[in-house]
Structure 1
Amino acid sequence: MVFPQHGEACPAPIALSIGDPSGIGPDIALSAWIMREKHSLPPFFILGDPSLLIARARQLGLDIPLSVCQPAQVLQRFSRYMPVVPLKNRLSDKPGVPQAANAAGIVEAIERAVQYVLAGQACALTTCPISKKPLYEAGFNFPGHTEFLAHLASRHLGRIVQPVMMLAGPQLRAVPVTIHIPLHQVPQALTTEMIIETVRITEHDLRNRFGIGNPRIAVSGLNPHAGEGGALGHEDDAVIRPAVELLQAEGMNIRGPLPADTMFHRQALTTYDAAICMYHDQALIPAKALAFDETVNVTLGLPFIRTSPDHGTAFDIAGRGIARADSLIAALKLAAMLAGRHRSNFNN
């Protein structure tokens, strides 16, 4: 698998939400703009607090000319200035110290970014990391970033949207069926219908956004050795296999359940375009082990493109000048590629 590069022109810039400003979101956003020419980055603008970004740049020893503007002005300014679309809610700049007082601005940045994408003023959304705890303390009622984005998409479309998390890297695209639940709850939560829906959304977006004509999909088992014929658990044969067989009958290029311990070695990675995994760590451990700094979190199933760095807020290194922007750079490039292909498919 070759990691996609920015190749197709986008009609609008990418909206970059600032994330939790007490984390490394501001650091990596500033670094990405500095490296825009080196990495041929698509134009993007930050939804954030200009005064915070100026203060963070000063703390990091960076000389960056900011331009407070609106999305329509970004393409003309991006080469010389870092475009910032200001928030109504101010953000407090205390690196490493998450604050519930910043919740309103964090949420506003996400909501407005989605609005700009849906209105065609941005071609895609890339999000810097958020921390759930300070948001919960301020009354945020969603399990996380992805669920909130699905809520905004559902509100826009007037129907329920089912988001699917994909970790996309240079060698592996991995999709967990269940995500942020305790491991002991996975067997009870996992259903044949859930697997079918996850695979269908994945297959659809592999075709229509990644441009893969006949996606090859590998489905992991849940138990060691994919259950060993029932000796090590019944879920593989009772829950997972019926989903695979139904999708095979529909003509999908899919196989499984496969033992997870043999799905991610070098030769195995060449035999499929996406791995469907049964729980969070089964997907994220190989994705991060193979390419921690280059893997991108992509949300499938939304009516817009959303990518994110595949790491957290890293409060412990915020404002210290050591945060790496590699994953954000990869997320911006992938967003541009997917947005260009999405636009081509829409126009056709």
Structure 2
Amino acid sequence: MNIKNTSEKFKIVLSVGDESGIGPEIILKALGSREIPENTDYILVGSKNNLENTYTQLKNLGLKKIANPKNLQIHNIEISSSKNESQSSYGHSSFYYLTKAIEIVKQYPNSALVTGPICKKSWALAGHNFSGQTEVIAKSCRVKNFGMLFTAKSPITGWRFNTLLATTHIALCEVPKRLNTNLIHAKLDLLKEFCLSYEKKPTLRVAGLNPHAGEEGILGNEEKDWLSNSLIAWNAKNKDIELLGPLSPDSCWNSSAKAWRQKDAEKHDGILAMYHDQGLIPMKVIALNYSVNTTIGLPFIRTSPDHGTGFDIAGKGIAQSQSMVEAIKAAVEMTKNSRLLNTH
């Protein structure tokens, strides 16, 4: 496939992810949906043979609203023709699809990257020692201040629900060691810039690390010793932002649940969570299949469905594609809202 440097039409570059999972299925389902934006080119990066086999399998299962690979633009990569693929070979393939997709999206100034789910263990078995796709993309773009943000647009109220993680794919025992004032300030800077693309005066919230945000040192010292002061210092330099925190984590997302369901509920624009599950549990419970993973701080927009490879249901035709649809829609919307995030 010849890659041109310029194109007027907006492009979504899709890496299919781990082909032994549900990635190819949800991509074909999403591209067959009437919900995805029109006037957009889609470039799939993966095995054409696998996509065609997935299409045939889904048709044989009676599914109708799926895209035919013959009608799609595919950057075909056939790494192995073996029918007995190992977990490590799938890991190697998905890693290579991602790196090639990054290479392609960098060549189009009017484009975004959407990634299918991968398996971190498969990557490790293949010798690719990264904790996730986010870290690979950030390294490729040579950016140091980047963030894993989860976003979802309520189909009920139209409100956009945003949660940024201060730390990402690390063990829970490592979280307190990684957190510090500089990190919190850097993440708040990212969250502010992201929310400014939607609101002129964003309202941000910060969850505490400990239960009840430490209860003034009774349940943990981080909030009392440095986190509260770091938030005060950041807010003093960003007086146009309404910043609340550190808030008790068990109630920090209560208003998010109300804003998701009720049009007249009090709204906020972004929450900073201290670690992965603290932010992801309320995000997935409230937004369900509408949640999207996005990497902020990059020279282009990158989104991904907010779920894993679904090995247990792969090939059964029952994988939901709503999160992939939302990832595509979010990529288009975010690029239009903020060209500053797409300067490549």
TM-score range relative to shorter protein: 0.7 to 0.9
Counterpart CA distance in 1 for 2:82 and 2:289 is 28
Structural mapping, 1:282-301, within 5 Å: 282-301=278-297
Task: Give the corresponding residue for 2:263.
Answer: none
| Pairwise CA RMSD | 2.4
Q: CA deviation at 1:106?
A: 1.6
Q: How many residues align?
A: 316
In the alignment, structure 1 residue 339 sits paired with structure 2 residue 335: yes
Aligned to 2:157: none
Task: Give matches, 1:75-114, under 5 Å.
Answer: 81-87=71-77, 89-90=79-80, 99-114=87-102
Considering Cα pairs closer than 8 Å and 6+ residues apart, tell me whether 1 or 2 has the greater RCO: 1
* Cα distance, 1:248–1:143 mapped onto 2, change above 3 Å: same
Q: In the alignment, what sits opposite 1:212? A: 199
**Residue 327 (structure 2) pairs with residue 317 (structure 1):** no
Q: Deviations over 1:123-151 (max 9, x none)?
A: 10000000011211111021211111111
- Identify which of 243, 265, 279 aligns with 1:254: 243
Which amino acid is 1:65 matched to?
Answer: N
SS of alignment partner, residue 100 of structure 2:
helix
1 CA distance for matches of 2:148 and 2:127?
A: 24
Conserved 8 A contact 1:23-1:98: no
Deviation (angstroms), 1:44? 1.8
SS in 1 for 2:193: helix
- In the alignment, the residues of structure 2 paired with residue 288 and residue 330 of structure 1 have an alpha-carbon distance, to the nearest angstrom, of 14
Question: Runs of 5+ in structure 2 lacking a partner?
Answer: 1-7, 155-160, 260-265
Q: Does the Cα contact within 8 Å between 2:138 and 2:146 map onto a contact in 1?
A: yes
**1:131-185, CA deviations, whole angstroms, 9 ceiling, x for partnerless residues?**
011211111021211111111011xxxxx42220111113521112112222222
Asked if 1:59 is matched to 2:57, the reply is yes
Equivalent residue in structure 1 for 2:20, among 19, 22, 35: 22
Superposition pairs for residues 163-312 of structure 1, below 5 Å? 163-170=146-153, 172-207=161-196, 210-250=197-237, 251=239, 252-266=241-255, 269=259, 270-312=266-308
Q: List gaps (5 residues or longer) in structure 1.
A: 1-9, 68-80, 155-159
Name the amino acid aligned to 1:150.
Answer: A
C-alpha separation between the residues in 1 aligned to 2:82 and 2:203? Answer: 47
- Pairwise CA distance, 1:102: 2.8
Q: Structure 2 length normalisation: TM-score?
A: 0.85
Note if contact 2:204-2:268 (Cα within 8 Å) is conserved in structure 1: yes
Structure 1 length-normalised TM: 0.84
Residues 140/170 of structure 1: CA separation in 2 closer, same or farther (3 Å cut):
same
Distance 2:132 2:250 in 1: 29
Identity %: 34
Amino acid at match of 1:227: G
Other structure's SS at 1:262 match? coil
**Secondary structure in structure 1 of the residue aligned to 2:55:** helix
Cα distance in structure 2, aligned partners of 1:245 and 1:311: 35
Equivalent residue, structure 2, for 1:78? none
Query: By how many angstroms is 1:308 displaced?
Result: 0.3
User: Do 1:295 and 1:310's aligned partners in 2 also have CA atoms closer than 8 Å?
Assistant: yes
Q: CA deviation at 1:219?
A: 0.6
Secondary structure of the residue that 1:169 maps to in structure 2? strand
